[in-house]
Structure 1
Amino acid sequence: MSFACGAWLPAAACAAAGPALDIFLYLIPSAALAVLLWIASSAHPAFFVFTAAGTLCHELAHFSVGLLTNAEPVGMSVFPRRIKRPKGGHNWELGSVTFANLRWYNAAPAALAPLLVLLVPLGVAWWRTRKGLAFDPVDLAIMFFLAPQFLSFWPSPVDWKLATRSWPWAPLLALVLACWYFKDVALGLIKA
């Protein structure tokens, strides 16, 4: 089934947006399904099965970036388990990765690695919309694979806490790299 952009938006808007609009429109059903999965999984633990693909990608992102940055991952689990909340009650931990060498230089990349999971839906959407926006039966299956990725790309509160071990070194390093990369532009602005 093919959807023309011009049926929804003026031709000028379709021309200006280009492939980005097709990617955005392709991902809307997956994002909507992600919201439904989030609601269902918070209602009953049995729905965690639908988030397993996202949990696996989240933990593999930690593990892979940990390997690349010498954080030495020593353990990985993708089995949900109940944990106690600090202020009482229980919560679910869907997966975890443990590191043996988490230091100032690799804490932020290893802890914030799940942000890279967002590249999975974007890459798949780009691949499926290269020849225009069209939905085939296979896209329904792809939607069920992509929806959990939207739920798993955001780092957990524990991940953000671990990333602070790189503070202020990681932002300072990013600033230095950005200055070096854009040095010609900055020099051009200064000379003008």
Structure 2
Amino acid sequence: MIDCSAIAPAWICQYRGAAFDMLLYLAPSVMLALVIRRLAAWHPFFLLFRLAGTICHELAHFFVGLVTYARPAAFSVVPRRMAGGWQLGSVSLTRVRWYNAAPAALAPFLVAGVPLLVALWRTRPGWQFEGIDLLLAFAVAPQFLACWPSAADWKISLRSWPYLVIAALAWGALHYLHFS
């Protein structure tokens, strides 16, 4: 078990708090994610290290698609060579409408909760680095790469443009009621 002062300068350890502990805990995973991203761009073999993140990314689409009635029909995490790169996975939704396009397409943002929950669990009061934390760093790193929606996801989310109109009307009504 390793104490904060064994891996970081004393001036960093003096600012310890719950949020700081979580950031300190997640820093190796973020750095490892950057290494994995670079290696995967260099050679397709290293896409294997992104598999855990790809599974979470696609499961987020799948389950949010189920909840919002977008009817997920197919699920794949087998990488396919595409023009200009690789498609790491996909979920086919058969009933994408204006009300469920954005939630289903932007669901990978939920994957960011995985590293946060792991950090919250592991940095409880009195925490110290242990052997399991090295394994968790490798498991959490791909989640940082998977929590951002793809370009295709962003295009699909634009089908929910009426949300912007509804939000603007709600904001206008609240603003009007508050100042009248």
Same fold (TM over 0.5): yes
**1:38 and 1:102, CA in 2 relative to 1: closer, same or farther beyond 3 A?**
same
Aligned residue number for residue 103 of structure 1: 97
Q: By how many angstroms is 1:9 displaced?
A: 3.3
2-structure distance, mates of 1:92, 1:155: 15
Percent sequence identity is 49
> Are 1:124 and 2:118 counterparts?
yes
Match in the other structure for 1:170 = 163
Aligned to 2:139: 145
Query: One-letter code of the match for 2:129?
Result: F
Q: Please show how residues 58-137 of structure 1 align to structure 2 within 5 Å.
A: 58-84=57-83, 90-137=84-131
Which residue of structure 1 lines up, in the alignment, with residue 21 of structure 2?
22
Given the alignment of the two structures, is residue 8 of structure 1 paired with residue 2 of structure 2, yes or no?
no
Deviation of 1:112 after TM superposition, in Å, equals 0.2
Aligned to 1:57: 56
Give structure 1 stretches of 5+ with no counterpart: 85-89
Relative to structure 1, the CA distance from residue 80 to residue 133 in structure 2 (aligned partners, 3 Å threshold; closer, same or farther) is same
Q: Secondary structure at the match of 2:4?
A: coil
* TM-score with structure 1 setting the length: 0.83
Q: Runs in 1 of length 4+ with deviation above 6 angstroms?
A: 176-180
1:82 aligns to what SS in structure 2? strand
Query: In structure 2, do the counterparts of structure 1 residues 138 and 173 end up closer, same or farther at CA, with 3 Å as the change threshold?
Result: farther
Q: Deviations over 1:130-158 (max 9, x none)?
A: 12442101000000000000000000000
Residues 52-108 of structure 1 deviation map (CA, whole Å, 9 limit, x = unaligned)? 000000000000000000000000100000112xxxxx3100000001100000000
TM (normalized to structure 2)? 0.88
Task: Report if aligned partners of 1:58, 1:114 keep a CA contact under 8 Å in 2.
Answer: yes
SS in structure 1 at match of 2:82? strand
Consecutive unaligned residues of structure 2, counting only runs of 5 or more, are none
- Using the alignment, how far apart are the partners of 2:121 and 2:29 within structure 1? 15
